[in-house]
Amino acid sequence: MNPSSREEIAIVLDFLPNGYPSDTRPAHMKTAVAQAIGSEHFILLELIPKKEVFLKPEQEVYMGEGKRDEIHHIGGRINFFKLTQTARMNLEDLLKKLVHKYEARFLQFFNNAGPINARRHQLELIPGIGKKHMWEILEQREEKQFESFEDMRARVKLMPDPENAIMKRILLELNEEDKHRLFIGN
């Protein structure tokens, strides 16, 4: 894992106190497991809690270096398709909250995004943004950088909801539907 994309805080998506149902080992050998998403780089993780710890969806847990209160160890990264149904359902709501929480970070993307190559721009990777919206965003940010999502909606005509568009982009990256990574840590 790239040290710059190391997660310190994860948010629980689902907690399985008896481990995965597909685990065929005897009950006494199974361990509790939590599926979580990193709060900063949106990396999907499998976390193994300490014994007697019960985690709840949307609970933030520290998993960085040093003393951890709830997490024994990190099982590793997990694929989107390994998420439980509960984790997938919680993911969308949680992403909406994280996009809102990190609005400044995403505005920085809109204010600084550049071309990928001669034919394609990073802005075009955002669902709902085509050439027309891209050019309008570029013109508007040239005049004055965007200060909020509300400011973007007011200045860019018929702009799709930027928060929703970013959330959809993050889901595309988690599903590994695009090789380009704008928001997910590598």
Provide the domain limits for residue 20.
Answer: 3-85
The reported pLDDT for the residue numbered 1 is 40
127: helix, strand or coil: coil
185 occurs within a structural domain: no
CA–CA distance, 72 with 96 (Å, rounded to integer): 28
Same domain, 18 and 79: yes
pLDDT at position 48: 94
CATH of the domain at 155: 1.10.150.280
Same domain for 71 and 31: yes
Residue 142 domain-assigned (yes or no): yes
Structure tokens at 21: 């149902």
Do the Cβ atoms of 162 and 113 come closer than 8 Å? no
Q: pLDDT at position 185, please?
A: 77
Q: Is residue 112 part of a domain?
A: yes
Shared-domain flag, residues 37 and 64: yes
Q: Residues 49, 32: contact at Cβ < 8 Å? A: yes
CB-neighbour burial class of residue 53 (10 A; exposed 0-12, middle 13-18, buried 19+): middle
Answer yes or no: do 107 and 163 share one domain.
Answer: yes
The answer as to whether 38 is a domain residue is yes
pLDDT at 4 (0 to 100): 54
Could you tell me if 123 and 149 lie in one domain? yes
58 within domain boundaries? yes
Q: Are residues 72 and 121 in the same domain?
A: no
Residue ranges in the chain modelled with pLDDT below 70: 1-5, 186
pLDDT recorded at residue 132: 92
How far apart are alpha carbons 11 and 95 in whole angstroms?
Answer: 10
For the domain that residue 77 is a member of, what is the CATH number? 2.40.50.140
Classify residue 41: in a domain, yes or no.
yes
Residues 80 and 107 both lie in one domain: no
CB atoms within 10 A of CB 88: 16
Domain match, 77 and 107 both: no
Q: How many domains does the chain have?
A: 2
Which pTM does this prediction carry?
A: 0.87
Can you tell me the distance from the alpha carbon of 176 to that of 116, in angstroms, rounded to the nearest whole number? Answer: 18
For residue 15, list its beta bridge partners.
34
